[in-house]
Copies of this chain bind each other. A is one copy, B any other.
Amino acid sequence: MSQYAAVRVFQRQTELRTAGGLSVRDITDEVAEAVRESGIEEGIACVYSPHTTCCVRVNEFESGFLEDFAELLRRLVPIQTYYAHDDWDKRTENICPEDMDVGNGHSHCMAMLLGTAGESIPVRDGEVSLGTWQRVLFIELDRERDRRWLVQVVGT
């Protein structure tokens, strides 16, 4: 299948308040709705977190698994340990007053370990090509915060 036409680009930004503490929000329905609104039938959807301590990931949304994964992350990247990022006697760059109360060095490390800020998903016949159990997840690795995510669709 190959198409040859004028291109369309669509973007939507969605705001949310997260619960903090490795909480996961299922944003699949909102992504699907944005793709429908875009009118794009064939292309790529890039779902993106513009934050350094959150990420967007595609996996199953099942409570047991999310509990298992939070436990794994906390084991690999312990919260109660020294982080130079949170050492205010030493740190001189990117001073963010609200981070001085509660450190988030572990959240940055988790985000880097998890990978990219977003996920790119093929769009076909006007739908994101998610598999049976795949859901689009917005993962908060830091405390309860105001956040946002973007979906950018490029195609025909």
Contact = CB atoms under 8 A, between A and B. Distances in A.
A11 B156 CA distance: 13
A122 interface: yes
A144 to B, nearest CB: 18
Main secondary structure of the interface of A (DSSP, over half): mixed
A146 interface: no
A5 B6 contact: yes
Contact of A64 (B46, B83, B111): B83
Interface residues of A, number: 76
B64 A122 contact: no
A21 interface: no
B133 A94 contact: yes
